[in-house]
A and B are shown apart, each in its own frame.
Chain A
């Protein structure tokens, strides 16, 4: 217990010697009288006087201590909760700046849809950021990391439980338009490597948010497969399907020629769990994010940060109590003298 005490304002402790003042200042009573030698020795009175001096010394000591603001420093405690380690891997390519279907797209005529989408549909990347921000805020037990990708992977926020930092990473993704190229293969390889050298604590997820696919070469496929297997990472792909873009479940041999479908089929061959969510409108996207939240609720060991605990209030209360006793004793003494 004692080992874990720190002071916010330790310099005040230099005033601690003041607490001895009442012990030095004896003979308060005597000084007012010309001669007290003839009075019988009052042992009880002396004892009470000494007790009062000790009490006021304690009161001074308590106030000095309170000024130094002692407390227990911030600490970490191991806790088991429910949650996951989630790496948000967000596409920052230019196409993410395009729009999705507006919410009321079902009421629009086939002719209007394209035009309306271009004019007033929500921007994909922005809709995704808003929902991911809310998702993160709702899941305080999870640890999040944020990465963007275009031609390279931009690992922004390493795994943290600090919601504010994760949000700052997500916010940064919305400053200005995206970059021109995308290389989802490279991004996945370097993202899965971020789980390396981390204790396996429960469940690991890469939440890929992107609007396009890629036909990966065999080396890349092998590297991705090996990485996911070794790190035991599940992959969730929220595919932001643009207007007129291919459906992931497009059947037949022809599908293999479409990058999005090819990527989806490759993901299905991964040894670890994989789920795809196809989102065409903000509602689809919200439902997908909601579903991801339901999926991953495994027990997770994590260290919880216990904030610094300040002891000053208790000490001030003690000082107050001492002062109250001194006041009461003063009244009692006065009455005794009268």
Chain B
């Protein structure tokens, strides 16, 4: 009897000790997977082609890419950081250095909403150079994010020959990330904007620079130029992903190979609490079981 009692007292003491520990325990640094990205959006005119559909409504390439990223942001674990940049002309311009997706989701979203035609500071679309500038941006923005480069691969003026050489200051594979092919397979007319944000019909064949050697003069139409983007990805050492669904992007962004282990202050008081709970439940559980087994044969 006394032994039973003193065991109970021991358990209570231990439970009390664990509760005190839970009360005084500071959050401990613990490695957790997180994902850091610099997302670069092509904001040239061909990205205005509405060859995506969402909820049965046509959506432009740029709008769909933004929507996909906005959704993917909600599925990244806290501690992940995302920054934003835009590409037009021949270069990418960093807009927002990476910030925490949980702490600043609202701000990230409203900045993302603003990445559109109205930002366009130049009218050309030299995708290869834009991508190389994006690599530089990912390298220099701080925090070593991976790159997400959303583009349809439509070069304007058209490229003569193959993919241009990488800039001298970037090594192939130095920056990791994905080139994300945005657009459909069917060439479609490009909405024309006289001033950014104001649409006025479509571009005609005689209004754009056509490819000198190629027979069909169809540079005024735009489809996803997947071969070109894949060649660019190979040249830069990035992976290629075709943007087909919101979920697909989110999955690719959370792939284990892209994770970065980062020590996040983590609350472990639940371990102490759980043990205390087990100890507190042990005594009544024991009597319940003991009561059953002694009562049963007596009846």
Contacts and interface: CB of A to CB of B under 8 A. Distances in A.
Interface in B110-137: 110-111, 114, 118-122, 133, 136-137
A319 B19 contact: yes
Interface in B261-281: 269-270, 273-274, 276-277, 280-281
B280 A175 contact: no
A324 interface: yes
Given A168-B99, A172-B96, A324-B16, A63 B280 contact: yes
Contact of A176 (B8, B94, B111): B94
- Which interface class (under 10, 10 to 19, 20 to 34, 35 or more) fits A? 35 or more
Contact of B5 (A56, A172, A179, A334): A334
Interface stretch (A75-83, A147-155, A209-217): A147-155
A15 B96 contact: no
Contacts of B277: 15, 18, 60, 63-64, 67
Contacts of A176: 91, 93-94, 133, 136-137, 140
Contact of B1 (A32, A53, A162, A330): A32
Contacts of B280: 56, 59-60, 63, 323
A28 interface: yes
Contact of B104 (A31, A67, A155, A162): A162
B114 A164 contact: no
Interface stretch (A19-27, A262-270, A278-286): A19-27
Interface stretch (B152-160, B222-230, B288-296): B288-296
A245 interface: no
B263 to A, nearest CB: 19
Contacts of B85: 172
Given A156-B114, A169-B96, A9 B270 contact: yes
A92 B86 CA distance: 14
B93 A320 contact: no
B247 interface: no
B284 A22 contact: yes
Interface in A16-45: 18, 21-22, 24-28, 31-32
A226 interface: no
B255 to A, nearest CB: 25
B285 interface: yes
A61 to B, nearest CB: 10
A31 B96 contact: no
Nearest to A12: B270
B281 A168 contact: no
A168 B276 CA distance: 44
B161 interface: no
A222 interface: no
B281 A25 contact: no
A164 B104 contact: yes
Given A152-B118, A158-B111, A320-B16, A175 B94 contact: yes
Interface of B is mostly: helix
B294 A31 contact: yes
Contacts of A154: 86, 93, 95, 119, 121
Contact of A168 (B86, B96, B110, B114): B96
A156 B121 contact: no
A157 interface: yes
B107 A162 contact: yes
A172 B23 contact: no
A181 interface: yes
Interface in A167-212: 167-169, 171-173, 175-176, 179, 181, 190
A160 B281 contact: no
Contacts of B23: 313, 316-317, 320
B9 A327 contact: yes
A326 B12 contact: yes
B121 to A, nearest CB: 4
Contacts of B285: 21, 25
A21 B281 contact: yes
B162 interface: no
Contact of B12 (A25, A26, A169, A330): A330
A165 interface: yes
A173 B196 CA distance: 22
Contacts of B291: 25-27, 31
Contacts of A165: 96, 99, 104, 107-108, 111
A15 B270 CA distance: 13
A32 B294 CA distance: 10
Interface centre among B4, B273, B285 (most CB of A within 10 A): B273
Interface string B87-99: 0000101111111
A67 B273 CA distance: 7
Interface in B1-24: 1, 4-5, 8-9, 12-13, 15-16, 19-20, 22-23
B287 A27 contact: yes
Contacts of B118: 152-153, 190
A15 B276 CA distance: 13
Given A27-B287, A168-B98, A330-B8, A179 B22 contact: no
Nearest to B16: A323
B131 to A, nearest CB: 14
A88 to B, nearest CB: 13
Contacts of A327: 9, 12-13, 16
8 contacts: A25-B283, A53-B284, A63-B280, A67-B270, A150-B121, A316-B19, A320-B19, A327-B12
Per CB-CB distance, the 6 closest pairs between chain A and chain B, nearest first, are A25-B284, A175-B94, A168-B97, A21-B284, A25-B287, A171-B97
Interface of A: 9, 12, 15, 18, 21-22, 24-28, 31-32, 53, 56, 59-60, 63-64, 66-67, 69, 92, 148, 150-158, 160, 162, 164-165, 167-169, 171-173, 175-176, 179, 181, 190, 312-313, 316-317, 319-320, 323-324, 326-327, 330-331, 334
